[in-house]
């Protein structure tokens, strides 16, 4: 069920550097709550250099969601800001970190993107 989440963090850790986060430094902790259980992911960013661990440690920003919603967020089926406004995702601490982090989540998988006009095709 959290395959997508695990894959996302594993990829992030292996990348080691994410240019979209080049101006970002700080630690984010993702608390994925399911019943009595909470899974933790800790992402430390130092000017784009990224380390991921499963530690439950203090962080500048703490994000709380269900594991299912987080799967949807990282795969682009859900959007971070709307989840926050709906109350389905909670954020405490430095909001700028989550705004930056959210930008590296995938876009909607069915997005077509800009379409070139070709004469006679429309």
List interacting residues with another protein (CB under 8 A): 19-20, 22-23, 76, 79, 81-82, 84-88, 90-96, 98-100, 103-108, 110-117, 119, 122
Closer CB to another protein, residue 54 or residue 119? Answer: 119
Spatial contact of 64 and 28, defined as CB atoms under 8 Å apart: no
| Long-range contacts, 51-58 (Cβ 8 Å, 24+) | 51/13, 52/9, 52/10, 52/12, 52/13, 56/29, 57/27, 57/29, 58/27, 58/29
As measured in angstroms, the least distance from the Cβ of 88 to another protein is 5
Closer CB to another protein, residue 39 or residue 99? Answer: 99
Closer CB to another protein, residue 57 or residue 106? Answer: 106
As measured in angstroms, the least distance from the Cβ of 30 to another protein is 15
Q: Which tokens belong to 19?
A: 């240019």
């Amino acid at each position: 069920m959290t395959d997508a989440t695990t894959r996302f963090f594993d990829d992030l850790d292996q990348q080691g550097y994410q240019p979209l986060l080049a101006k970002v430094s700080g630690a984010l902790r993702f608390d994925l709550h399911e019943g009595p259980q909470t899974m933790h992911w800790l992402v430390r960013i130092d000017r784009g250099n990224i380390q991921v661990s499963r530690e439950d440690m203090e962080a500048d920003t703490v994000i709380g969601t269900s594991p299912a919603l987080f799967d949807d967020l990282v795969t682009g089926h859900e959007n971070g800001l709307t989840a926050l406004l709906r109350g389905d995702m909670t954020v405490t601490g430095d909001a700028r970190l989550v705004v930056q982090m959210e930008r590296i989540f995938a876009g909607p998988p069915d997005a077509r993107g800009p379409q070139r006009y070709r004469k006679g095709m429309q």
